[in-house]
Structure formats: structure tokens, C-alpha cells
Structure 1
Amino acid sequence: MTVHGFTTAEFAPLRAAFEDCFALGQHGGSVAVVHRGALVVELWGGSADAAATRAWQQDTLVNVWSCTKGIAAVAMAMLVDRGLVDYDQPMARYWPEFAAGGKGDITLGEALSHQGGLDGLSVPMDLAGLYAGAPYAQALAAMAPLWPPRSRSVYHAISLGALVAEPLRRVSGQGFGRFLATEIAAPLGADMFVGLPEAEEARVAEVIEGRGVMDGIREVLGSAHPNAWENPTIRPVEPNTRAWRAAEIPGANGQATAKALALIYGDLVSGASRLLSPAALAEATKVRFQGVDAAHGGEAAYGAGFGLMQQGARAGSFGHSGWGGCFGFADPGAGFGMGYTTNHMLGFDDDIDPRRKLLVECVYSVLDGLK
């Protein structure tokens, strides 16, 4: 498999690691690393479609699923930094309708750390309602919590997007897609969209459902907290539709390159961030929940929308992985941001994607050798 792109001399081992990912189940993909504010790795290769008729290009976009949540967390932290919202204030202060159903005291920080009892809707909702945005947000605002807030954390697979987008819209006057484009992507030259313009469709890779992708979802559906994957039900290949890509779902439908994720996370830990002050980053990434997720039974740690220390990343790291394999995160202590995208969704019994394990361990090995 031909791999394209570059690495600096120090990061040359990552090329071999990325090549090895194809043997582990990588149809097409890309990896990028920004270290101390400089792009040191950008590699890509494989095919952008299942039939292998389109080569993965430098600018190939792909649905990154919940990696989008990490960028939504960045957007909310920017609003906090500007004094427009406060994690410790009730969500209803910014979204008055949210107070319905006994939710008036749920804080923004509690909602963003999956502790608000709103892992999904308690009423029927079809994909059209999710895509339209307003019907989904209105149903979420009207419902009562599905469990006592603050009593546990249950992953908000789709609803977290509305819990960011709605207060953001009300205090900034912008939809999430517009905010991402103008306030995050443009300043950094990061190639990422939520609400993909039709003109960009030709660049998007086809998502491929691989082995084991639904295993974790079935586990959640069989638990006491199935709502995250109901109302509506979302198939792994839903991102192959124009309707999905055109919608704004800040918890799940970002279209991005690996470089875009690396640029955003790399900026945050560069020492001279164009997005966030050090104080705002510290507030966004402090631990708000650490323990066992009540739905899937695995260990979880969350800041204000960020996943903390996920899958092989070291203490102090923050970011978010995506269903099936994509990931983006930053390690402030090591001074790097990293992104990985793939169109080949896979699931694993121990919840550790060997592609991620290989790439992340390689980066840390290189950095440890530079000390």
C-alpha cells in the first residue's frame, strides 16, 4: 500500500506504523501530528470508497463521528473564555425552555459531562427531525431527565450535540456549523465541517461498516439506558447520505481530515493558542466525571465535553474518539495534538482499536526518545 505525505526526520517511524494499520483493517485513512505548534506528520493512503476506485487524497474528508464532540467542546470553551456562558450556571440560563421537566438546576458543565440524564430522547424522533435540528432540540428541552441528574454518567451519543448547539446559537447568534467555520476552522486552516456544503461532496470518503461495529451499540441497547441509540436509530453507513452530511449534528457528523483535528488540538497545547486562553483550557479539561459509564459498563472520564485520557493517551490528555476508529486528542505535557481518520469502521471486544494503539504508542515512543 502506497503511503503519501511527509514526516520530519524524528517522526519517521510513524510512516511504518501507519503502513501497518492497513494490515489491521484500514481501507483508507490519514494521520497527522502537530508538535510544539508545528506540523510534523501528515500521511494518507488507501481508498476513499469500498470498491477501491477512488484513492484517498490529502484533502479527503470523512465522517469522524464523536470526534466532533471534542470540537464542540472547544467551541463551548471559547464561549466561556469570552464570558458568554459559565459551566457552573444552569443550562436554562442560556436556553430557558430547557428548564421544563425539572431540569432547571442542571448546569452546563453537568450536561456536557454526560451527567444530566439526557442520553437520548424519551419520545419518538425520526432522522428527519434530527437533521432539521429544531425538532430534536425542542424534544430534548421538553423532556424530564431519564435518571436523577448527577447520580451517574451515561454517554450522550447524539444528544450532546444539541446540548452544545442550542446554547451556542442563543448566546452567539450563530449556528454551530457557522461558528466552526468562522471561529475555529478559518483561523487555523483546519479542513472540517459540520453541515457540509454540497460543493464539498466529491471529497468525502465512503464509510464502510466493518466487523464488530454494532457490538457495543447492542450492549447499550440491552442495558438499563438504551436511549442514546434510539429516537432515532442511526446506522453505521448513514454518513453516506447527503441528508446526514448536510445536517448539523455537533455530536456526530463532523466531516474532517486528520490534519484538521491535529491542527485544532495542536493549537490548544502550542503555548500560543489562537483559540483559548490557558485558564479557559484548564477549566474545560478539568475532571467533571470519572468512574463507570452506567450503560456500557466501561471506565470513563469527562471534562466539559472532552473525553479525558482516552485509549492509550497519557494523564492530562484530552480529546475525543469516534465510533469505529477515528480519533483526535492533545497531550499538553508532551505538547502535541494528533488526528487519525479512517473510513473503515471496526469494533473490538476490549474496546481498544489496534490501529489507534499502534499510532499513539509510536508518537509517545518518538517523543520519549527526544527527551
Structure 2
Amino acid sequence: MAEPPGAHGVEEGHGVRGVHGFCDERFTPVRDTLAGLLDHGDLGAAVSVRLGGIPVVDLRGGRSDPARRTPWGPDTLVGVFSVTKMMTALCAHLLADEGELDFGAPVARYWPEFAAAGKDEVLIRHLLGHTAGLPSWDAELAVEDLYDRERATGLLAAQAPWWRPGTEWGYHSVTFGFLVGEVVRRISGLSLGTFFRTRLAEPLGADFHIGVRPEDDARVARYRVHPALFDPPEPAEGLAPELVAQSRKLLGNPPVSADTVESIGWRRAEIPASSGYGTAGAITAVLSVLAGAGESGGTRLMSPAVADRVLDVQFDGADRYTGAPVRHGTGYGLNSPAAPFSPNERACIWGGLGGSVAMADLDARMAVAYITNTLNPGGGSGGRRGLSVIAAAYESLAAR
């Protein structure tokens, strides 16, 4: 990516505190925060900030492999796990903008088989809001089943919901992508990965992939994984045994390990909730469509009214399994007093397993992404590292 006019550039080989790339002089707090993260535990990481769709920060540092042989380069790709959900949800919003998808319609309007087992009243907005009652599969899956779209979606279509749709929130950790992705496929005729590539990534020049091509393998960062990363989350105290058993399935069916997410099978697969790989700049290019009221870097992809719909609250209450407070919009986490990440109300966020996180602020017209190959427990949207980058971006804005 070329350095934008007026940016305070840091050329490769002459980085500040081991950080390379470019940084508008107003955003030095972001650069310093990234440098601090690399000093205190991150193997490698990258950060991007865009204002009005224009890059003001594109920085990276550290190494892209645990052996520390390869520097993190400007085109290094890393798997960002559930940050992928932000891309998948935006595909649905694009179809809604074109009048092809009604968020208030039953899923079965577009996917007739889905009406089985009492799901005829499940709405599209329930899928996007994690309130559909399908947070995992009843059947015990192998990892390879995630690479088989027909099997993964067919089982969900036949399954009864675990609660009355629209009434509770439970994280659809992996099923979110198959549910929303299948609706996109039924309407467009394209797999979610292909739809995202042709309708969002290519028009925006965004180096993000749901299904990595063999020719891009050499650019993919390897992870350093904390041993406890894949331990299932603890359910809330006093939870009924049935709900405890369900909660164990949220991240444990199928069982995923460090070897799984480093495998070629995982990398090639289109798992629309979890297997996205990209650069930080690619993520902010896509999310600037939201932050920029439908436009990113001079490319308009949807109307301002549809971009605003990500903020429509689908749930505001407690997580069914952990009891944690949740405020969720149409595909995205929203700002709330219990879990603030922005001084502005009109902002959305999501994070990925291990620590990568991204956000879009529709008031500030700002998108921020922090991505890393250092996978620690307690990441996601509330992870300390990602939130510190977001806080530094807002500090920079306030000092302008």
C-alpha cells in the first residue's frame, strides 16, 4: 500500500521501536501502543486505522513464525478467526441493500429446507443476532465436517432450535457463518467466500480471503498458541445441567486444536465464521464501508441507510450460558455501558479467538483493526491488546 499524502512514514528497515509501515503524525499513540505490545509478548502483529476510508495508519512489526525467522511484512496474512464474521455479515447487508434479502423475513423463504423441526419462524435477523437457537450442532462433528458445506448446513437445517428463536443470546461461534453463508448462497448462487471476494474484496482491493489460495500460502503467518486457548469457556454458576452440556458444545463441537488451525485443510476451507485470513489494512478497507456510510476510499458499495442497520439492536441482556452482558446488533457487537470500547454510540466491534479485533465507528467515520499471530485466552472483542489499540486511536482523534 502506498503511503498517503501527509502521513509520517516509517520506511522498512528504519522502523521506530521495531514497528514498520506508515503512520500519520497525529496517530503516534497507535504506533507506540503497537510497539509496546511487541515489546511485551506479541510475536507479530499489525494495525490499521482509516478515516473516511483513507489509511492514516498501516503498521506492523515482529515475526510471522514462532521460530522468528521471518519478519512480518506488508502483505503478511494471518487468520483472524471470528473477525471473519464481520465480513460475512456485511455480505448479507449488501444483499439487503440490493433488495434481495429482507432481515425480517423467515429464513425458510430463501432456504426452504430450513423450516424443518419447528424453525419456520426463525428470521434472518435472528441468524445475524445470534438469537436463532442454533449455536452448535446436535450431531457430534469431526473437523473435516466443517470443510463440507452441504453436511454442515444440512444438519443445521434439520435440527430443532435449542431455545425459542429471538428470545435469548448464545454465541453461534461456528454455525453463524454456515447459516448466514447458506442464505447468501441461496440468493446469489455463490459460496460465501466467492461472494465476499467478488462483491467486496476485489472492488475494494482488500487482501482478505475466506479460503486461502495455494499461491498465497507463503504469506500466511504461523501462530504461537497458548496451551489453554482451546479450553471451553466456563458456564455460569448454577446453570442447569442441560445448558452446561450445550455450552460445552459451543467451542467443542467439533474439537479444534492448534494443529487444526495450522492445517492446510482449515486454511483452504470456506468456514465463514472462522477461517478468514487477511491484512489489517484489508479489514479496515472493508469495515470502512460501514464507518463511511456505505463508501470506502471513494468506492460506494451500499446506501447509508443500510450501513446504519448494523446498529439495530437484536439483543440486549445476558449470555444464555456465561451470564455475561451482551448488546448485539445486526451481525455486530455494539457499544454498551457494560462493555464500552468507543466514546460514540454508533460503533460496532467483533474479535477473534486469540486476540485479533476490529471495529467501525459510524460517527467518527473510523475503522480500526489489530491482528496478531500470538493467540492467548481471553481475546476477542474484550481482549486487552485490541482494546488498547482502539483506545490509542481515539486518543489520537481527541488530540487533533
After TM superposition, the score normalised by the length of structure 1 is: 0.95
Deviations 1:4-56 (A, max 9, x none): 10111111221111100123421101000001221000000111111111111
Q: Segments of 4+ in structure 1 off by > 6 A?
A: none
Q: Choose which of 341, 345, 348 in structure 2 pairs with 1:318.
A: 348
Residues 187/202 of structure 1: CA separation in 2 closer, same or farther (3 Å cut)? same
Is the contact between residue 268 and residue 275 of structure 1 (CA under 8 Å) also seen in structure 2? no
For residues 332 and 338 of structure 1, the distance between their equivalents in structure 2, rounded to whole angstroms, comes to 12
State the match for 2:327 in structure 1.
301
Question: Which amino acid in structure 2 is aligned with residue 150 of structure 1?
Answer: G
Is the contact between residue 7 and residue 40 of structure 1 (CA under 8 Å) also seen in structure 2? yes
Match of 1:34, SS? strand
C-alpha displacement at 1:158, in angstroms?
0.1
Q: Does 1:278 align with 2:304?
A: yes
Q: Does 1:257 align with 2:257?
A: no
Q: Does 1:332 align with 2:362?
A: yes
Correspondence list, 1:36-55, <5 A:
36-55=52-71
Q: Which moved more, 1:203-212 or 1:349-358?
A: 349-358
State the match for 1:345 in structure 2.
375
Question: Which amino acid in structure 2 is aligned with residue 226 of structure 1?
Answer: R
Deviations 1:66-96 (A, max 9, x none): 0000111110000111111101000010010
Is the contact between residue 261 and residue 339 of structure 1 (CA under 8 Å) also seen in structure 2? yes
For residues 259 and 35 of structure 2, the distance between their equivalents in structure 1, rounded to whole angstroms, comes to 25
Match of 2:27, SS? coil
C-alpha displacement at 1:238, in angstroms?
2.2
State the match for 2:261 in structure 1.
239
C-alpha displacement at 1:218, in angstroms?
4.8
Deviations 1:204-229 (A, max 9, x none): 01122126524563548956533322
Is the contact between residue 234 and residue 322 of structure 2 (CA under 8 Å) also seen in structure 1? no
For residues 37 and 350 of structure 1, the distance between their equivalents in structure 2, rounded to whole angstroms, comes to 24
C-alpha displacement at 1:353, in angstroms?
2.4
C-alpha displacement at 1:187, in angstroms?
1.0
Residues 272/172 of structure 1: CA separation in 2 closer, same or farther (3 Å cut)? closer
Q: Which moved more, 1:180-189 or 1:294-303?
A: 294-303
Q: Which moved more, 1:49-58 or 1:280-289?
A: 280-289
Question: Which amino acid in structure 2 is aligned with residue 316 of structure 1?
Answer: R
Q: Does 1:85 align with 2:101?
A: yes
Is the contact between residue 223 and residue 296 of structure 1 (CA under 8 Å) also seen in structure 2? no
**Unaligned 5+ residue runs, structure 2?**
1-16, 237-242
Identity %: 33
Is the contact between residue 355 and residue 379 of structure 2 (CA under 8 Å) also seen in structure 1? no
Q: How many residues align?
A: 370
Is the contact between residue 354 and residue 375 of structure 2 (CA under 8 Å) also seen in structure 1? yes
Deviations 1:217-248 (A, max 9, x none): 35489565333223311124522110001000
Is the contact between residue 3 and residue 19 of structure 1 (CA under 8 Å) also seen in structure 2? yes
Is the contact between residue 79 and residue 276 of structure 2 (CA under 8 Å) also seen in structure 1? yes
Q: Does 1:107 align with 2:123?
A: yes
Is the contact between residue 73 and residue 305 of structure 1 (CA under 8 Å) also seen in structure 2? yes
What's the Cα RMSD here? 2.0
After TM superposition, the score normalised by the length of structure 2 is: 0.88
For residues 87 and 183 of structure 1, the distance between their equivalents in structure 2, rounded to whole angstroms, comes to 19
State the match for 1:228 in structure 2.
250
Is the contact between residue 115 and residue 150 of structure 1 (CA under 8 Å) also seen in structure 2? yes
Q: Choose which of 123, 126, 129 in structure 1 pairs with 2:139.
A: 123
